[in-house]
Amino acid sequence: MPLTLPQFQRSIEDTYGAKDRQRGVAGTFMWFMEEVGELSAALRSGTPDDRAAEFADVLAWLATLANVVGVDLEKAVQAKYGGGCPGCRRTPCICDRAEKP
């Protein structure tokens, strides 16, 4: 069975929740940024395995940050992206290329 977003977020909560809350939002954001930096390096010069591992780390720290502030990642993406592009409401997106996203 493919992993659902709630299952993933809960597994990160079970593994790191207690530590995460002790560290707080700002400290957790610093760890998240460290992983973002490592992703940047892996995108520039990493092997495919390096890249996959760094994507996993960024996603795990994003889930941890969401846990610390009580955001449900699945509800958040369903609310914003569940109906296609939030700009043009189409799939595929037909927004101008200079616009977000």
Residues near a second copy, by CB under 8 A = 2-8, 11-12, 14-19, 22-23, 25, 29, 31, 33, 36, 39-40, 43, 48, 51-53, 55-62, 64-66, 69-81, 84-85, 90-93, 97, 100-101
Q: What is the nearest approach in angstroms of a second copy to the Cβ of residue 89? A: 10
Q: How many CA atoms lie within 13 A of 72 on its CB side?
A: 7
Q: What is the nearest approach in angstroms of a second copy to the Cβ of residue 34? A: 8
Phi, psi (degrees; rounded to nearest 5) at 87: -80, -60
Q: What is the nearest approach in angstroms of a second copy to the Cβ of residue 53? A: 6
Burial (CB < 10 A; 0-12, 13-18, 19+), residue 51, is middle
